[in-house]
Structure 1
Amino acid sequence: MIGCSHPSQLAEPEAPAIPVSHPVSRQVTDYVDFTGRTDAIQAVDIRARVTGYLVQMPFKEGAEVKKGDLLFEIDPRPYQAQLDQAVSQVTLNEASLHLARTTLARDKQVDKEAPGGVSKELLDKDAAAIAEAEARVKAFQASSEVYRLNVGYCKVTAPIDGRVSRYFLTLGNLVNQDQTLLTTVVSVDPMYAYFDMDEPTLLRIRHAVNDGRIKRLESGEIPVLMSLQGEQGFPHDGKVNFVNNQVNPTTGSISVRGVFPNAAPKNGDRLLSPGMFVRIRLPIGQPHPALLVIDRAIATDQGLKYVYVLGADNKAEYRRITTGPLQPDGLRVVDGLSANDWVLVGGQQQVRPKMQIRPDQVAMPTIGPATGEKSEGGGQKSEAGDQKSKVKDQK
């Protein structure tokens, strides 16, 4: 009868299958990352040093130029005419000087042969004529030098090796002395990269240098790594060659500069240009052993980091940890685990402390560089492949 029937028993829900992995153990190097911008070591605004009209622009826009290459030529004819006139004046006054000296010598000879034959006043006039002619010669020689410089300034040459910009003016335009910008030239090799370092990191690095955990290069500088947009890892090696002399009290940061080579490959182009966005990695200390887990396995609870580990009777246990740098393969350095712990690496949304699960033992998942490649930041060979073999053996 319906009134005497027993209620049906509901089946207990099956425990969810959750992937678990042992932490990866390997050598890593601590580091800090920054963002920055590249900048040329030398940048020159090309301006004319004389006024005139452009008559020649023999360079190719955007090309690399050598120091002394001709970039622009201003019509030299007015300045050449001034130079020729000044040179002629020098010649004219040299002739006057020669005449004055000859006159003085002749009058002295006459006065010697016939004392009193030439008045003292005349001899004084002869000497003054010589001094006046010498002064005119020197004045026009100086003028000639000025005009000679102006003729030379009509040829505007590259002051440095580098890459030239576009034409800011075309042929036939008037340029004004020391005012009109014709183009720019920037150096290309090596290249600077500027970035801002926060005060805590600055102190951390200085302590590491003082303790000998950061090894300086033979030149005394600190090594630094750089990555461009779209690049994996930090393939560009450089060195820190400048730290500003004061911390900005508004931002609490200090300006730091690294220098990186920018050689052009054979039949190729240089990678770096001024103004590019870059990522900077500064290694801190020497390689040391560490445990790492996939970053997605780490959760946050009111600012505290934790993971779930497999406990007794296959129950999830809450384990608080401290985290370190994220590696290029997606693993993050952690402290608070042991190499034998089974860490839950998936399904964290459906897991609660003390919850029964069905562990699915897998190798620690990674992203980025393939297994066996050298990890950036000092990490050595990944153990994900070895761990996968161990898991299969355990199964």
Structure 2
Amino acid sequence: MLLTFVATRGGDGHGRVVSAVFKTLAALVFLAQSAVARAEGPAPEVVVSRPLARMIPRWDEYTGRFEALKQVEVRARVSGALEKINFTDGQFVKAGDVLFVIDQRPYQIAVDSARAELTRAQAQAVASTRDYARAREMTQGRTITARDVDQRKASNDIAKAQVLSAEAALRNAELNLEWTQVRAPIAGRVSDRRVDSGNLVQGGQADATLLTTIVTLDPIHFIFDASEADYIRYARSAERPKETSREFKNRVSVRLADETEWTRSGVMDFMDNQLNRRSGTIRGRAVFDNKDYFLTPGTFGRLRLFGGDVSALLIPDAAVVSDQTSKTVLVVSDDNKVIAKSVSLGPIHNGLRVIQSGLDAKDRIVIGGLANPMVRSGATVQLKEGEIKEAPVAVSDR
């Protein structure tokens, strides 16, 4: 700062005094500015680099639920009093295990009666066969009419038919007796019992009593809905026009609500044959191994499906400055001024953050020196060239 004073009257003593005062003030201001300059020191140094431009896989994410491959309602097929329950609620069962036993006594009686009826029918058929054979022999001596022979043949045919009917009745009685032991139709985890021992249960086709349910857990399905736009994009894929999830078991990953990593891998095994007209979505299904039985039908999850390769800018996640309302990245202009740019973040890829929007490939990103409080928007900085490197990719992640 330069302060000057022009006296209005030469030789005026008052003017000389004022001039001396202003000179003193000018000296003080100069000394103060020098002290401030010495206190501020040189411009802070930052490490800068341009973002990495890469082709990266695009992953489309969908929310859905896990569902059992098989879910069976175990119902009574015959009526009677429930005598035994041979499982603990929630346990694993094998196909064929006896879960419930219905009172067998009336069905055993029915089997015994049907067996006796079969014995009677068989004996009657044997006697009728002999009568018919004798009648045929008697026709040679003309001691019996043809009408009598025909009647005995008809009686023999009826007796044989009664044997067949008795055999069918016995098989039906034995089947009903077998159904008094309610067996697990599939292997899996059984639910709780819906009826306690001692209660009467109803068999049949329409009103059969529900006893319990069984679901399979390994493997397990994941059901989700994809938008119409995503479906069209997949169908029109230029690189792989025929490799849809209907023809190929495309790989997918899933994570649960409390997980941050895609820890479980599976494959697509079904896409519906039409879109839902109301929601504009199409149903998809993936299958996952569940050998530890951790995944349970009905659990929410997040599925990731490969959607093609796209161009992206990558920067270190530490270069992103966060506040309560936005995410920003500090860049340095041509005149070494710091500028804060608001950005939209994508996922982490090979240890670097994907920037969806807000940056240009030519921007010089501040990747080092952010801890210095002097490095802020509007500050002048000194530059040191750095390099952004991707993290090594494990073979299993490729």
Q: Could you tell me the TM-score, scaled by structure 2's length?
A: 0.73
| Conserved? CA contact 2:235–2:241, under 8 Å | no
1:273 to 284, 293, 296: 296
| Conserved? CA contact 1:23–1:291, under 8 Å | no
Residue 201 of structure 1 pairs with residue 222 of structure 2 = no
Identity of aligned residues (%): 27
Indicate the SS of the match to 2:140: helix
Residue 243 of structure 1 pairs with residue 271 of structure 2 = yes
Q: 1:105 to 1:95 in 2, by over 3 A?
A: same
2:171 is matched with which residue?
A: 145
Deviation per CA, 1:128-181, whole angstroms, max 9, x where unpaired?
A: 321221222222222112111111111111111211111111111111114211
Q: 1:284 to 1:18 in 2, by over 3 A?
A: farther
- C-alpha deviation, 1:109, in angstroms: 3.4
2:11 is matched with which residue?
A: none
1:106 is matched with which residue?
A: 134
Residue 285 of structure 1 pairs with residue 308 of structure 2 = yes
1:174 to 200, 225, 231: 200
| Conserved? CA contact 1:300–1:306, under 8 Å | no
Cα distance in structure 2, aligned partners of 1:169 and 1:364: 70
| Conserved? CA contact 2:51–2:365, under 8 Å | no
| Conserved? CA contact 1:28–1:290, under 8 Å | no
1:327 to 344, 348, 351: 348
| Conserved? CA contact 1:23–1:342, under 8 Å | yes
Could you tell me which amino acid in structure 1 is paired with residue 80 of structure 2? G
Q: 1:123 to 1:35 in 2, by over 3 A?
A: same
Cα distance in structure 2, aligned partners of 1:37 and 1:72: 31
| Conserved? CA contact 1:22–1:339, under 8 Å | no
Q: 1:232 to 1:300 in 2, by over 3 A?
A: closer
Q: 1:120 to 1:205 in 2, by over 3 A?
A: closer
Cα distance in structure 1, aligned partners of 2:260 and 2:395: 9
- C-alpha deviation, 1:238, in angstroms: 0.6
1:69 is matched with which residue?
A: 97
Could you tell me which amino acid in structure 1 is paired with residue 216 of structure 2? S
Q: 1:308 to 1:340 in 2, by over 3 A?
A: closer
Could you tell me which amino acid in structure 1 is paired with residue 220 of structure 2? M
1:337 is matched with which residue?
A: 360
- C-alpha deviation, 1:211, in angstroms: 1.0
Cα distance in structure 2, aligned partners of 1:334 and 1:128: 91
Q: 1:177 to 1:93 in 2, by over 3 A?
A: same
Cα distance in structure 1, aligned partners of 2:336 and 2:133: 123
Deviation per CA, 1:348-379, whole angstroms, max 9, x where unpaired?
A: xx9997x33668999999xxxxx957599968
Mapping of residues 214-225 of structure 1, within 5 Å: 220-225=248-253
Tell which structure's C-alpha radius of gyration is larger: 2
| Conserved? CA contact 2:314–2:353, under 8 Å | no
Indicate the SS of the match to 1:146: helix
Pairwise CA RMSD: 4.3
Could you tell me which amino acid in structure 2 is paired with residue 317 of structure 1? I
Deviation per CA, 1:269-294, whole angstroms, max 9, x where unpaired?
A: x2111111111111233597742354
1:393 is matched with which residue?
A: none
| Conserved? CA contact 1:27–1:378, under 8 Å | no
- C-alpha deviation, 1:205, in angstroms: 3.0
Cα distance in structure 2, aligned partners of 1:223 and 1:100: 71
Cα distance in structure 2, aligned partners of 1:85 and 1:358: 103
Cα distance in structure 2, aligned partners of 1:306 and 1:213: 39
Residue 317 of structure 1 pairs with residue 339 of structure 2 = yes
Cα distance in structure 1, aligned partners of 2:387 and 2:275: 42
1:186 is matched with which residue?
A: 215
Residue 158 of structure 1 pairs with residue 179 of structure 2 = no
Moved more, 289-298 or 122-131: 289-298
Indicate the SS of the match to 1:112: coil
Indicate the SS of the match to 1:275: coil
- C-alpha deviation, 1:86, in angstroms: 1.2
Cα distance in structure 2, aligned partners of 1:206 and 1:377: 28
Residue 32 of structure 1 pairs with residue 60 of structure 2 = yes
Indicate the SS of the match to 2:266: strand
Indicate the SS of the match to 1:45: strand
1:86 to 88, 96, 114: 114
**Tell me, which stretches of 5 or more residues in structure 1 are unaligned?**
265-269, 366-370, 380-395
Deviation per CA, 1:74-112, whole angstroms, max 9, x where unpaired?
A: 112111111211111111111112112222333443443
- C-alpha deviation, 1:235, in angstroms: 1.2
Cα distance in structure 1, aligned partners of 2:101 and 2:216: 22
1:55 is matched with which residue?
A: 83
| Conserved? CA contact 1:36–1:193, under 8 Å | yes
- C-alpha deviation, 1:55, in angstroms: 1.5
Cα distance in structure 2, aligned partners of 1:263 and 1:229: 20
Deviation per CA, 1:41-93, whole angstroms, max 9, x where unpaired?
A: 11000001111111222123212222111111111211111121111111111
